[in-house]
Structure 1
Amino acid sequence: MNKAFAAGLRQVIIVPATLLAIGISTKAAFAQNKLYSPIPLTTNSAELADMLSDKDIPTGQGGFARDYTVKLEKGDNLAVDLTSENFDSIITLLAPNGSTLAENDDGPDGTSNSLLFTRIVETGTYIIRVRSFGETGVGAFKLKVTKLQPIK
């Protein structure tokens, strides 16, 4: 086989494969954005009533999770209150980089509801994740996110 022909053939084969890989990863990214879209929240809103269902994010432990985004400023003091009569709740606050900043399973009132307090150290968009403990289920819940005001 001619060396020039073989070199040209390799270039023709490599370029389309690279383009194909880029096309597949782009389609996957678009599909992922359609499948995962956290619900935006404002911290000035009243209590939110919502439902956790088997259509939400699987946790890998048999339960499901629902994510909410909230924009927070450095120095904000945050209280997140999650209650449900249908499942044992867990509340998780994820930092803008995706790491777990804070988490609470059972609140101080002795129930399976969750209550979380934290101070924000970096301005950004945070994820508040509502999920059920293990395989405890799905159902209605109430979520309240409050920026606490310092005592003057």
Structure 2
Amino acid sequence: MKHKIIILLFSLILWSGTAAAQEESTRLTYGDFLRDTIVEGGLHVWEFEAQAGDVVFINLQSDEFDPLLEVFFEGNLIYSDDDSGYMSDAYLETEPLEEGVYQIFVKSAFASDGGEYYLTLAGMQPIIGGDEIILNTPTVAILSEQNLDTWTLTLEATTSIYAAVRSPAQDLLLRVFDQNGELVAEDDDSGGDLNPLLESLELSAGEYQVVVEPAISVDASGASYVIEFLTTANGQTIIPNTLARGVLVSVGDSAVWELTIEENQEISILARSEFFDTILTIIDPNGVVIATDDDSGTGFRSAYLELKIVDAGTYQIVVSSFGENVGLYELRVLDETES
């Protein structure tokens, strides 16, 4: 593999633990996924250190208040977001950063609110000119001086693909070519905000060339973007205190995650999506359905379960859709066992 990814955004991200007191430790590192509670009208300040060129992703979630996310550098506000995430969650993708220490301000959009929140920090050095596409792994890139990047996608079996490119500043075009150089699919603006998106792309086994270039005749070299090829991959592993992202590509799809649980362990599981009404089903090691939920989470599209597992073993978490809508979803598993 030609490049080293510092962190895989929204693939399995290990939980750093609950910060009981804000002043004890404010420094975060890429890959941290933490849970904390803020009082009404309160402010939490977290810090992280970036290397020159790092692109950083910050996700601030809460089911109890409308979170507001701000990023400061050298005392200046450089990024702010309120509702770019799921429902009222805050979400940021930065441009390449300068080297230094940055502050993340966590607070409520309304001074009278507070409560529990989840904060995820991820970052990576951008790839220039294209490279190998790793399925289910978002990758940050910089458009090369040639004004065109070529990526390689290798599939060992027929696969349904959800392919997306996001750029904050440029209108980019996404094209997929087979091993004979024939155009298989292309898109310009289906992802919204001038971003290309290919949904339910059925590709057979083989090697493909994926080309990213400006949609119009302009020099966009140096522009940053995120490229992501997701699959409905069953059998992926998730562990307690992690956050993961997946996709249902086609109507009728379901995603099966494997979770190994200890005896008498208490867990909570949340599945939510902006695109479809999630259903959670839990299956024990003997293949018996032990729990299911549709709408117990915040918002009518979120499924939520709290369970105490008596018998240790590997359980299956099945994420599916109620209805005919599909798309991206988030899956969160937390260990709620009292220490």
TM-score range, shorter chain: 0.5 to 0.7
What is the CA–CA distance in structure 2 between the aligned matches of 1:89 and 1:82, rounded to whole Å? 6
Counterpart of 1:41?
Answer: 238
What is the CA–CA distance in structure 1 between the aligned matches of 2:305 and 2:335, rounded to whole Å? 12
Match of 1:70 among 256, 259, 278: 259
Query: Is the CA contact (8 Å cut-off) linking 1:63 and 1:137 kept in structure 2?
Result: no
Unpaired segments ≥5 residues, structure 2: 1-232
Q: 1:90 to 1:37 in 2, by over 3 A?
A: closer
Match of 2:284 among 95, 105, 111: 95
Question: Which one-letter code corresponds to 1:63 in the other structure?
Answer: G
Instruction: Determine what percentage of the aligned residue pairs are the same residue.
Output: 29
For 1:42, what is the secondary structure of its paired residue? coil
Question: Which one-letter code corresponds to 1:40 in the other structure?
Answer: T
Query: Is the CA contact (8 Å cut-off) linking 1:64 and 1:137 kept in structure 2?
Result: no
Q: 1:98 to 1:75 in 2, by over 3 A?
A: same
TM-score (norm 2): 0.30
Alpha-carbon offset, residue 64 of structure 1:
1.7
Alpha-carbon offset, residue 37 of structure 1:
4.7
Q: 1:110 to 1:42 in 2, by over 3 A?
A: closer
Match status 1:126 vs 2:323 = no
Query: Quick one: higher RCO (CA 8 Å, sep 6+), 1 or 2?
Result: 1
Query: Is the CA contact (8 Å cut-off) linking 2:267 and 2:333 kept in structure 1?
Result: yes
Query: Is the CA contact (8 Å cut-off) linking 1:88 and 1:136 kept in structure 2?
Result: no
Deviations 1:13-55 (A, max 9, x none): xxxxxxxxxxxxxxxxxxxxxxx8511111132x21211112x
Runs of 4+ in 1 over 2 A off after TM superposition: none
Tell which structure's C-alpha radius of gyration is larger. Answer: 1
Alpha-carbon offset, residue 97 of structure 1:
0.4
What is the CA–CA distance in structure 2 between the aligned matches of 1:89 and 1:118, rounded to whole Å? 18
Question: Which one-letter code corresponds to 1:114 in the other structure?
Answer: A
TM-score (norm 1): 0.65
- Calculate the aligned-residue CA RMSD, in Å: 1.7
Report the more deviating stretch, 100-109 or 123-132.
Answer: 100-109
What is the CA–CA distance in structure 1 between the aligned matches of 2:237 and 2:301, rounded to whole Å? 25
What is the CA–CA distance in structure 1 between the aligned matches of 2:276 and 2:330, rounded to whole Å? 12
For 2:334, what is the secondary structure of its paired residue? strand
Q: How many residues align?
A: 107
Greater per-residue strand proportion: 2
Question: Which one-letter code corresponds to 1:39 in the other structure?
Answer: Q
Q: 1:112 to 1:122 in 2, by over 3 A?
A: same
Unpaired segments ≥5 residues, structure 1: 1-35, 55-61
The residue correspondences of 1:3-152 to structure 2 (distance < 5 A) are 37-45=234-242, 47-54=243-250, 63-133=252-322, 135-150=323-338
Question: Which one-letter code corresponds to 1:68 in the other structure?
Answer: W
Query: Is the CA contact (8 Å cut-off) linking 2:279 and 2:319 kept in structure 1?
Result: yes
